[in-house]
């Protein structure tokens, strides 16, 4: 708590910080991502081998997507390491936003991969029967990939709500599962009917799913970088909550934003009756806001009756 003078009138600012030392991914999340990356690297080499010997463009395309998965996980792990660095006078919130930047890059990578899938599908539809595909090798590699991707999803699924990059990695894996099913279906169709255009249709379906899922993660990341209010929180509801507190006359300059996944902050200027213009009011407001809305970083600035300050454009 500190007391400042502004325009000749006193106001009280109560600043409460719950984040402590910067923390990135937990040790458990790091181990899970490392395990999934190991499985992904193994399958990448298997896909490259299978694509070369089977002549399957689907396996080659999926190998490119798997390479993007590995890069995304590596980026998430690197962002976690940076997030553990201490804050500085220039970066007062530390390096938390690197996680969000990593998620943004991951999602853009997925959208680029989906565009590539659409392009490959178009080429196959325009040139049916182009190239020979060994369906037996294709279905075998896709079957192994399905098992690896399901194992990766099982590893990541319990932690999907705790970190945006874990969620992004899970979306990559879920896409890979669909890819494996599609490759097996295409291989079966080629083996039974010789319909090589099946790869194109399945590629389009996979591309649509990839694009939609990536768009969702991209939207979340952009909202955080734009410091939009978190979707789970209603600013008008928070304002009403503060106004119902005894002694509160007005609330202004109310801002709610996300620092990084699971770390949301609030800043509010609260005008109160003279009798409530003291530390205990600020402490009570902060405690109630933290308990009601699960906020980790709260700054409440109390102002006395009739206090006026310069109008800000935001």
Q: Two tokens at 129? A: 């029967």
Tell me the DSSP string of 93-111: TTTTHHHHHHHHHHHHHHH
Nearest to 167 by CA among 154, 157, 179, 177: 157
Per-residue pLDDT tens digits for 79-123: 667 666 666 677 777 777 777 887 788 788 878 877 877 887 787
What is the average pLDDT across 170-184? 85
What is the average pLDDT across 6-19? 44
Amino acid 23: pLDDT: 45
Provide the mean pLDDT of the chain: 79
What is the average pLDDT across 205-218? 78
Nearest to 205 by CA among 184, 185, 178, 187: 178
**How far is CA 165 from each of CA 172, 188, 206, 231, rounded to the nearest angstrom?**
10, 35, 21, 18
Is residue 132 within 8 Å of 55, Cβ to Cβ?
A: yes
Residue 170 has pLDDT above 90, yes or no: no
- All domains of the chain in start order, with CATH: 27-225 (1.20.1510.10), 229-303 (3.30.70.1350)
The model carries a pTM of 0.69
Residue 249 has pLDDT above 50, yes or no: yes
3-state class (DSSP) for residue 88: coil
Rounded to 10°, the helix 198-225/164-193 angle is 170
Element containing residue 249 per DSSP (H, E): strand 248-260
Amino acid 131: pLDDT: 54
Amino acid 240: pLDDT: 94
């Amino acid at each position: 708590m500190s007391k400042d003078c502004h325009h000749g009138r006193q106001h009280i600012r109560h600043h409460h910080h719950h984040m402590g030392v910067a923390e990135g991914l937990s040790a458990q999340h790091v181990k899970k991502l490392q395990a999934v990356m190991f499985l992904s690297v193994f399958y990448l080499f298997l896909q490259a081998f299978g694509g070369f010997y089977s002549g399957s463009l689907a396996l080659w395309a999926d190998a490119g997507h798997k390479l993007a998965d590995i890069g995304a996980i590596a980026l998430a792990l690197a962002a976690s390491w940076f997030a553990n660095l201490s804050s500085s006078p220039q970066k007062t919130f530390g390096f938390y936003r690197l996680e969000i930047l990593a998620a943004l890059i991951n999602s853009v990578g997925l959208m680029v991969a989906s565009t590539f899938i659409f392009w490959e599908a178009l080429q196959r539809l325009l040139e049916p029967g182009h190239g020979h595909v060994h369906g037996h090798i294709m279905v075998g590699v896709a079957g192994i990939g399905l098992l690896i991707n399901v194992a990766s999803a099982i590893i990541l699924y319990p932690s999907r709500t705790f970190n945006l990059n874990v969620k992004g990695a899970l979306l990559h894996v879920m896409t890979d599962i669909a890819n494996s099913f599609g490759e097996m279906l295409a291989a079966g169709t080629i083996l039974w009917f010789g319909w090589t255009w099946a790869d194109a249709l399945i590629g389009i379906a996979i591309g649509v799913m990839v694009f939609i899922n990536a768009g969702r993660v991209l939207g979340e990341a952009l909202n955080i970088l734009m410091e939009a209010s978190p979707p789970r929180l209603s600013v008008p509801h928070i304002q009403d909550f503060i106004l119902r507190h005894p002694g509160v006359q007005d609330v202004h300059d109310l801002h709610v934003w996300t620092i990084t996944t699971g770390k949301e902050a609030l800043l509010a200027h609260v005008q109160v009756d003279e009798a409530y213009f003291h530390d205990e009011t600020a402490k009570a407001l902060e405690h109630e806001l933290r308990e009601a809305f699960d906020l980790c970083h709260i700054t409440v600035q109390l102002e006395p009756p009739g206090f006026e300050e310069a109008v800000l454009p935001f």
